[in-house]
Every structure is written in structure tokens, then in C-alpha cells.
Amino acid sequence: MSRVQSAEQIVGTLGARWQVLRAEQPRLRARDAAQELGVSEAEFVAAQCAGEATRLMPDWAAFFAGLPALGRVMALTRNDSCVHERKGVYEPATFMAHAGLVLGPDIDLRLFPQHWAHLFAVTDHSASPTRHCFQVFDRFGGALHKIYALEGTRLEAWAHLAKSMMAIGHPDLAVDPLPPTPIRPRAVANRDALRADWALLKDVHDFPAMLKRHETEPLPAMEAMLGAFTERLTRSATFDLLNRASAEQVPIMVFVGNRGIIQIHTGPVERIVRLDHWLNVLDPDFNLHLREDHIAHCFAVRKPTSDGMLHSVELFDAVGERIATFFGKRKPGQPELESWRDLVAGLERAQ
């Protein structure tokens, strides 16, 4: 059953608790603050805790149609272990029956709107300068995607989009309870059959359908194909991958997503910084923040395609959730870069 609260209830009770918590931990981020308060991030935002929040209509086609006019912005997509931030301009989105695409040289997205539920415009007047953000949440109140205004963003177009999408009245916020923590995916039933199908792949986009036919998920499939199409890497291989890509100027593709969206960076990485548990890429137009301590499984993976064998590095957490995936930069119809293939071959294998 959904947890339904009126706007007045949310602001009155949660807002007061947030004031106490913020006095104790003034640098706490919204996601972590919501967790401390025992609510979803959507409820936290609706309570005006992250700034002046305006509920918008969840008309996704209309919303994405308005994004190109904003000019240069920062797109943020994250999961529990990784944050992907990319600056650029939204190209027009294309929506199909169950998915959508934003295909741009800077902002490159795969959209799954069946998982989207709530949309807010948030203005944080406490920041200097004032921070403007659009935020998309799922039905559990989890943040799926955020769009931040930058110095060059067209704020008149931003205000027009927010006003045109404004929800009528003050609709109650209905948030479903979180599903149980997923159990580790079960093992592959028939390894030989999976190996045979894997060998016949012609396109990496056919990989999810193949897993579905075998009633399995990525992590158990990777484990089942050890020695055939996959190899285990050490946890530190991700740090080595990014450092070598930077030092050797190998352009890469970095995929990070959640149930509602996948965000992709294609191009070089330059400034790689380790800080506590975080592995960071800190470049002018691309930032990555990855919890290295969450990496429970790291694989070098080979997938046959009509363009030749493709190599990737794929990261999973302890319950089999995908953290991030790395490829060499390429376009359909092109073989992968030899420099990327050599880079993956040189990563440390786990014993």
C-alpha cells in the first residue's frame, strides 16, 4: 500500500525534523538526509527540505521536449554505488513503446519511463549562486535523474518549462514502500546452452534478451561463463583502468544507471582521484564518483558481435546489482579500439 501524505503534512512534520538534523549535520546531502529521517528522497524534496520545491506534471514527453531549449546543463544519474555527472545540451528525446533515447555527443541517455512517477522543480536559495534543479523520482520515491542549471543555462527557458509543467493544486504525494532487498540471483540452469547462445551473439543489445531466455541475470551469467567469455578482475582493476585510460589517452564509454535510466559518457578521462572509499573522475565536463568498497564482483567480459569481439569491464555489488560498465569508445559498424583491447588485457586478474 502506498504511503500518502498531503503537502501540508509533509512540510509540517518532516520539515521540523530536518531543521534539527541540519543543525547537527550541516553538510548532509539530500539522499543521505532522507535516509537518516526514514523517508524517501521524494518526500524529503516535497517537504521543501532541499529548497523551494514545485510539483510538476509527470508528462515525460512534454518535459523532455522542453529540455533542449535550456542550453547547457548538467545531467546526473546515480545508483547506490556510483554517481555519473555529464555537462552538455539535451538533444530531442525519442520515445518508443517501452523506452526512449536522448542521443547527443554530450548527454547520452537510455530512458525507461515506465519506472518514472514524480517530477519536481527545486530552487535552492541557500546556495550561492541560487541552484536550480529538475528531479525525477520513481514510485518508491527514489531519485532516478536530476538536471542542474549551470552558468550558461537559459534561465528564462527553465522558468517557462517549470511553469508550463506545474501540477494543478497541491496533489498528495503517494510513495510505495520499498521492495525487499533483492536476494542474490540464482545460478544458471544450463551452462552449455548459455555458452552456445553467447557464442552466437551479433549485437551487444541482444544480451539482455538472451539472459531473459535463459531465465538468469547478468551476475550469475558472468560467473557461469568464467574461462569462456569472462574473467574475474581484482577490485583495484577499475582504478587501474581509469588511470591507464587517462595516461594512454584511450577514449572510453562509461555506463551508469538505475531502473529508470542509463547515462553514458563517451570520450577521454583525465583527472583520476582516489579519496577515502570514492574513486573519482574530476574533469571539466564529466564527473564520476564510484564507491570502490561496494565492488564485490569485477569482470573482464567478451561479447561476439558482427563488428568483431567487444571487450567490457563490468562491476556488480554484493547482491548482484550492476554498478557500472566500461567499453572502449566506438560506434555501431566499427571494430573496437586496439588500445582499449590492450588496456583490458593488461588489467590484473583475480586469483
Q: Which domain holds residue 254?
A: 191-345
Do 209 and 148 fall within a single domain?
Answer: no
- Average pLDDT rounded to a whole number, residues 15-42: 87
Q: Would you say residue 83 lies in a domain?
A: no
Are 272 and 225 part of one and the same domain? yes
Does the pTM surpass 0.85? The reply is: yes
pLDDT reading at 5 higher than 70:
no
Query: What's the CATH number where 169 sits?
Result: 3.40.1570.10
Q: Which pLDDT belongs to residue 33?
A: 87
Q: What pLDDT score was predicted for residue 131?
A: 95
What is the reported pLDDT for 50? 79
Composition of the chain by helix, strand, coil, percent to 5 = 30, 30, 40
Query: How is residue 64 written as a grid cell?
Result: 523532455
Shared domain for 132 and 213, answered yes or no, is no
Write the pLDDT tens digit of every residue in 143-183. 999 999 999 999 999 999 999 999 887 677 889 998 787 66
Distance CA(30)–CA(250), nearest Å, equals 35
Mind listing the pLDDT tens digit for each residue in 184-200? 667 899 999 999 999 99
Q: How many domains does the chain have?
A: 2
CA atoms of 80 and 321, how far apart (whole Å): 9
The percentage of the chain sitting over the pLDDT mark of 70, rounded to a whole number, equals 95
Please write the tens of the pLDDT for every residue from 51-92. 899 999 999 999 999 999 999 999 999 999 999 999 999 999
Question: What's the average model confidence in pLDDT over 303-315?
Answer: 97
Let me know whether 171 and 197 are in one domain.
no
Q: For residue 9, what pLDDT is reported?
A: 52
Q: What is the pLDDT of residue 181?
A: 73
In a domain, 100, yes or no: no
CA neighbours closer than 13 Å in the CB half-sphere of residue 224: 22
What is the DSSP-derived secondary structure letter of residue 13? I
Does 296 reside within a domain?
Answer: yes
Q: 233 and 159 in one domain?
A: no
Query: Residue 226: inside a domain, yes or no?
Result: yes
Mean pLDDT of 245-253: 99
306 part of a folded domain: yes
Q: Are residues 221 and 330 in the same domain?
A: yes
Report the alpha-carbon distance of residue 162 to residue 54 in Å, rounded: 8
Return left, alpha or beta for 226; rule: phi > 0 is left, psi -120 to 50 is alpha, else beta.
beta
Q: Is residue 68 part of a domain?
A: no
> Which residues are 348's β-sheet partners?
none
Q: What is the pLDDT of residue 210?
A: 97
Q: Is residue 338 part of a domain?
A: yes
